[in-house]
Chains A and B, each alone.
Chain A
Amino acid sequence: MDVVETERIRVNVFAPGDPESRAAALEAFAAADSVGKGVDARGTVPLGDVLLIGSVATHALAYLINTLRKAWSKGVVVDAIGRQMTIRQDPALPRGVVVVRSKSGEVTVRDGAGLADIVGNALPARGGDGAGTGGSGNA
């Protein structure tokens, strides 16, 4: 049987520190057929977020983001500018809004429609070095 390998990408989710938001992020990872590994940390100032790292199939990214969009109390920023994708809540954005930043610019989404295309376009072309798709630090 031929095995079709799905491309997966490392995603860093900075979930708000409250238990509900963290649980929602873990559920979003699970819904996207992934596991968000929590990185418990201590800060010089009490931390307002908790980092969850997961490896998500590219076709499930939009689903993950849309789940977070609906679960969190404020808007969501998806940063796909660099070699790793980072998702965090932005208290300055109203709930339900997603801002996707990529090398080609910034797109604001107010509902789930079209999110898959926008996220797909935001993903950088992956080279053969495997950068951002696995390697050290992946959960």
Chain B
Amino acid sequence: MPDEGRDPGRSILFDRYQNPALAAEAREMSMAFADYSYLRRLSGEDDPDRAWEAHFAHTQPQVRRVLDGLLGTFPPEERERAEALAGSVEAFALPSAAVESRVFENPGEATGYLIGISPIAVQLTGEIAWGLNGAHPYMAKALPKGWEAATMHAQESLALSISRYIRDLEGAGEGPVPMGMLNLAMTHPAGPGKWSHGRGPRDFYDAATAFALAHELAHIDNGDLLPAENRTTTALLSQQIAPLLGISAEENEELTADAATFTSCFNYFLGTWLMLNERPTGILGVLKRLQWKAQLGLTAWHSARRATEACEAYYSAIAVLSDISFRRGDDDAASRLMTTAMRVPFVQFYVQRMREEVLAPSYGPFMWTDEDVLYRKAHHSWRVHFVEDLLPQTSRHQRADLPDWLASLKTPGELAKQPEVLTSVAADWQGKIADLEREKGADDAETLSARAHVAHLLSEAQDFAGAVAVLEELLVDVERVAGADDRGTLGIRHNLAWLRARSGDVAGGIAAFRELLADQERAFGPDDPEVLDTRYELAWLQGESGDVDGAAAAFAELSADYERALGPHHAATLATRDSLAHWRETAGDAPGAAAASVEARTSQYPVLCPDHPGTLPAYEARLEEMERRLGPGDPDVLTTRWFVAVLRGKAGDAAGAAAAYAGLLDHDLRPLGFDDEDLRLIRDNVTHWQGRADRSEPTAG
């Protein structure tokens, strides 16, 4: 762990309210979790007691500082609660390589709770958040010319740093405890003073620590450690939805605690800024107040970003740790970690909603923008890249089997689409419709919309006949209430046509869509999204009817129209390009299909993230240019070559990956921090990729 760093004098809660007896027992309890081989590697101290003492003395102030900050920035109306927690909660860094932070009631004499946070999970979370912050500029278009080179350097450093970290973690027990870029940045001579509030490396570390602490504080606050009847909180997922998604009550509590971390972390950064920057007062302070307000908005924006990044990075870290456990053969830990990593969509949804619906109205629309959407996509791309590309190519353990628990694991999205789940949700909605009819009337827009939703759920559950029955009755009512040309009426006709085709009556579906298209064009004009959607279905059915070339041509035309009407990044535009690729491929036009697929991914992912099709070519050009300028053995060139090797493997260029790895072996790789084990792995990669190239299996590894 890094040094304690600055303390801006955040709050005095602990000074006033701390329970010394609980603090002393926390110290004793910390010993119960001690792994002395870990402590010896960390401190270099052979005497176990001294090693533990050093660890506790070093880490405790850091953990306490963040816990104090979290409690000190509770909203004013929860001040009493914060004071009570300051006297009843103690926290420490677990003196081990445990990947789980934990909270429990103190088993000793003093009343209160103890929190032990996992230094490994915190460190990796901070490393990923810090690394990605440099590897993906938030607003690249606002940066000076040449930002790409700096970004690529940052990406190479991130990948190398994470791969080193993974390798060191895998060798736990043999080598030193891993240290990463974040540690280096925190101990840099330039010091923390050069960073604005909430933007320095220590802030990323604090955000990761705050995530772990806030999660456990939420458990205490929600009463999750008490008997079930004493629990007070409202779970993130409703009692109706959670069981349908296979989420137990305990897992729902974990989700609720995860979601709570965002607000706590946001309050922590913004609140500690407010402690140091009081709002100017007085009749002459108008200008200063305006400046203060602008600073407040900027700080709120950075606070929201740090809190979001900590969430995203935490799940990436857990996914990486799960994969490491799996490769080691520890299926139990891998499964527990993977279960946690798969919570991410629920928490992302919550965070986005908080930023859009709570923070944006308070601070401004900049609290959630398209840049945030792109940043999330970049982070997702890297999360997958770590697990699917980097780990397989850098891990010392290779494992090809697929145990039952992993094969049967379903993502939240997959769970939500199971027919039994959808049917059950539809039945739930039927009950709501009865309530709506009673409270608002049968012809109310909300009632009619609920009936359409039931039809949608039934069709998703493959109950096409049930969905058609609901929609045919609904069409009569909506047409009577809203008229024949109303969007709702035409939308129901669209869905009925689609269901007819899906039920097997393709010709009937095409006829219904053609009739609908004429009415929609007359009512809305040719560039209306719903007109385009109908054309999309017609083009698809054209292909299914056997006119593959016609479908490809129709999708080419549609793709241009969607882009003109909705923009290149819109989900409908991207889906149309994917369909264009599909029908071109079906028609035997492989180059055309590849071009359409590349075009779709170009708009789907931010520039230079691992899944963007322009990323590998950009690095190939960078490698060539650097090699010419610096020579093939320069450490920077070797780093780029290593990164290119990984990207070529990802892209399915097995021969290229083998060549890039082989090229590394011609040089001294010690400046990159590579040891004999790394060299063995590079040789293994040469063999692996060359074997794949020889077998002509052009798929990613």
Q: Is the CB of A138 within 8 A of B52?
A: no
Bound complex: CA A137 to CA B110 (Å): 9
Q: Which residues of A contact B333 (CB under 8 A)?
A: 48
Q: Is the CB of B225 within 8 A of A83?
A: no
Q: Is the CB of B118 within 8 A of A81?
A: no
Q: Which residues of B contact A39 (CB under 8 A)?
A: 104-105, 107
Q: Is the CB of A41 within 8 A of B104?
A: yes
Q: Is the CB of A79 within 8 A of B36?
A: yes
Stretch at the interface among B212-220, B461-469, B476-484: B212-220
Q: Which residues of A contact B102 (CB under 8 A)?
A: 41-44, 47
Bound complex: CA A91 to CA B332 (Å): 9
Report B317-360 CB contacts with A as 1/0, cut-off 8 Å.
01000000000011011001101100000000000000000000
Q: Is the CB of B103 within 8 A of A81?
A: no
Q: Which residues of A contact B49 (CB under 8 A)?
A: 82-83
Q: Is the CB of B100 within 8 A of A47?
A: yes
Q: Which residues of A contact B52 (CB under 8 A)?
A: 82
Q: Which of B93-114 contact A (CB under 8 A)?
A: 99-110
**In-complex Cβ contact of B99 among A40, A45, A92, A101 (8 A):** A45
Q: Give the distance to chain A from B37, nearest Cβ to Cβ, in Å.
A: 8
Bound complex: CA A136 to CA B30 (Å): 12
* A58 at interface, CB cutoff 8 A: no
Q: Is the CB of B109 within 8 A of A84?
A: no
Stretch at the interface among B7-15, B21-29, B151-159: B21-29
Q: Which of A84-111 contact B (CB under 8 A)?
A: 84, 86, 91-92, 101, 103
* A19 at interface, CB cutoff 8 A: no
Q: Is the CB of B105 within 8 A of A40?
A: yes
Q: Which residues of B contact A86 (CB under 8 A)?
A: 32, 34
Q: Is the CB of A44 within 8 A of B107?
A: no
Bound complex: CA A41 to CA B24 (Å): 20
* A12 at interface, CB cutoff 8 A: yes
Report B36-76 CB contacts with A as 1/0, cut-off 8 Å.
10000000000011001000000000000000000000000
Q: Is the CB of A40 within 8 A of B24?
A: no
Q: Which residues of A contact B148 (CB under 8 A)?
A: none
Q: Is the CB of A82 within 8 A of B48?
A: yes
Task: Name the 5 nearest CB pairs between A and B, nearest first.
Answer: A41-B104, A43-B100, A12-B32, A45-B100, A137-B108
* A53 at interface, CB cutoff 8 A: yes
* A128 at interface, CB cutoff 8 A: no
Bound complex: CA A135 to CA B21 (Å): 12
**In-complex Cβ contact of B332 among A44, A48, A53, A139 (8 A):** A48
Q: Name the residue on A nearest B117 (C-beta).
A: A44
Q: Is the CB of B32 within 8 A of A45?
A: no
Q: Which residues of B contact A135 (CB under 8 A)?
A: 28
Q: Is the CB of B318 within 8 A of A45?
A: yes
CB-defined A-B contacts under 8 Å, sample of 25: A42-B104, A42-B219, A42-B254, A43-B102, A43-B103, A44-B121, A45-B99, A46-B250, A48-B332, A48-B336, A79-B35, A81-B48, A82-B34, A82-B48, A83-B31, A84-B31, A86-B34, A92-B329, A92-B330, A135-B28, A136-B28, A136-B108, A137-B25, A137-B106, A137-B107
Most-contacted residue by chain B among A39, A79, A137 (CB, 10 A): A137
Q: Report A's interface with B, CB cutoff 8 A.
A: 12, 37, 39-48, 51, 53, 79, 81-84, 86, 91-92, 101, 103, 135-139
Instruction: Supply 5 further A-B pairs (C-beta < 8 A) apart from A41-B104, A82-B49.
Output: A45-B100, A45-B101, A51-B104, A92-B330, A137-B106
Bound complex: CA A139 to CA B108 (Å): 7
Q: Is the CB of A136 within 8 A of B332?
A: no
Count A-B contacts at CB 8 Å.
107
Q: Which residues of A contact B35 (CB under 8 A)?
A: 79
**In-complex Cβ contact of A42 among B48, B216, B339 (8 A):** B216
Q: Report B's interface with A, CB cutoff 8 A.
A: 21, 24-25, 28-29, 31-32, 34-36, 48-49, 52, 99-110, 118, 121, 212, 215-216, 219, 224-225, 250-251, 253-254, 257-258, 318, 329-330, 332-333, 336-337, 339-340
Q: Which residues of A contact B48 (CB under 8 A)?
A: 81-82, 103
Q: Name the residue on B nearest A74 (C-beta).
A: B332
Q: Name the residue on B nearest A106 (C-beta).
A: B37
Q: Give the distance to chain B from A82, nearest Cβ to Cβ, in Å.
A: 5
Majority-rule SS of B interface residues = helix
Q: Which residues of A contact B34 (CB under 8 A)?
A: 79, 82, 84, 86
Bound complex: CA A92 to CA B172 (Å): 14
**Given known contacts A53-B107, A136-B28, is B332 in contact with A46 (CB within 8 Å)?**
no
Q: Which residues of A contact B25 (CB under 8 A)?
A: 136-137
Q: Which residues of A contact B99 (CB under 8 A)?
A: 45
Q: Which residues of B contact A83 (CB under 8 A)?
A: 31, 49
Q: Which residues of A contact B332 (CB under 8 A)?
A: 48, 91
Q: Name the residue on B nearest A38 (C-beta).
A: B107
Bound complex: CA A46 to CA B101 (Å): 10
Q: Which residues of B contact A79 (CB under 8 A)?
A: 34-36
Q: Is the CB of A45 within 8 A of B336?
A: yes
Q: Name the residue on A nearest B27 (C-beta).
A: A136
Q: Which residues of A contact B318 (CB under 8 A)?
A: 45
Q: Which residues of B contact A51 (CB under 8 A)?
A: 32, 104
Q: Is the CB of B254 within 8 A of A46?
A: yes
Q: Which residues of B contact A53 (CB under 8 A)?
A: 32, 107
Q: Is the CB of A37 within 8 A of B340?
A: no
Q: Is the CB of B109 within 8 A of A43?
A: no
Q: Name the residue on B nearest A44 (C-beta).
A: B101
Bound complex: CA A81 to CA B104 (Å): 25
Most-contacted residue by chain A among B103, B108, B250, B339 (CB, 10 A): B108
Q: Give the distance to chain A from B572, nearest Cβ to Cβ, in Å.
A: 38
Q: Is the CB of A46 within 8 A of B31?
A: no
**Given known contacts A81-B48, A82-B31, is B330 in contact with A44 (CB within 8 Å)?**
no
Bound complex: CA A138 to CA B28 (Å): 10
Q: Give the distance to chain A from B106, nearest Cβ to Cβ, in Å.
A: 8
Q: Give the distance to chain A from B24, nearest Cβ to Cβ, in Å.
A: 6
**In-complex Cβ contact of B103 among A42, A84, A101, A139 (8 A):** A42
Q: Name the residue on B nearest A103 (C-beta).
A: B48
Q: Which residues of A contact B250 (CB under 8 A)?
A: 46
Q: Name the residue on B nearest A85 (C-beta).
A: B32
**Given known contacts A43-B102, A79-B36, A86-B34, is B225 in contact with A137 (CB within 8 Å)?**
no
Q: Give the distance to chain B from A16, nearest Cβ to Cβ, in Å.
A: 8
Q: Give the distance to chain B from A65, nearest Cβ to Cβ, in Å.
A: 17
Q: Give the distance to chain A from B264, nearest Cβ to Cβ, in Å.
A: 14
